[in-house]
Amino acid sequence: MMEEKPMQANLSIAAATPWYRHRWPWLLMVGPVLVLVAGAITTWLAISRPDAMVVGDYYKQGKAINQELRRDRAASRLGLAFEAAYDAQAGRITGSLRTHGEPVRAPFHIRLAHPTQPERDRVLEALPDARGRFSAEAPGLAATHWQVVVEGGARDWRLARSWSWSKEPVLAIVADAQ
């Protein structure tokens, strides 16, 4: 009979202690609380940072793809070849544009599209000299993966390719190699 009394005393003490004084309920609540916090953070991120890559008018974009293909074929017919390099210290892109090996002397545009931040996109005006060489100012060009589109002044042809100037010092785009 002596053994039963201490056991009964332990059970009565455990039964008298409120639930919040035990560690197990708190340990079991940690998981669901973390899920709620992570869900709130994810919701805040989704609302405060909309995806800039999504376009509103898909039909219009689809029609534009056909025009882009027409411009690509025009560049192939002209035998265009573009070569450029970026000098980070000078903040300039220099290079040349050739058609069937001959220099192009007409002005053209170089569009640099940032992969995630549209406000950092740039359009450079390239004015080639008599040898077809050009130089365009592009100060502070981030070392990221740019989408480069070279197009004629009348937008009748286009060359396009992605480029990371920090990893690939010279950008070369040949119309038939697309």
| pLDDT tens digits, 59-112 | 666 666 666 788 888 888 889 999 999 999 999 999 999 998 899 889 999 999
CATH 2.60.40 positions along the chain are 78-177
pLDDT at 74: 84
pLDDT at 178: 47
Tokens found for residue 151 = 């197009």
**pLDDT mean over 42-60:** 76
The length of the chain is 178
Query: Is 95 or 6 the better-scoring residue by pLDDT?
Result: 95
CA distances from 77 to 50, 73, 158 (A): 40, 6, 11
pLDDT at 15: 66
Q: How would residue 132 be classed by pLDDT, with cut points 50, 70 and 90?
A: confident
pLDDT at 4: 53
Fold entry, domain 78-177: Immunoglobulin-like (2.60.40)
In sequence order, what E strands does the chain have? 80-87, 92-99, 102-103, 108-113, 122-126, 133-137, 146-152, 158-163, 170-174
Q: pTM of the entire structure?
A: 0.62
Chain mean pLDDT for the chain: 85
Strand partners, 159: 150
Is the pLDDT at 28 greater than 60? The verdict is yes
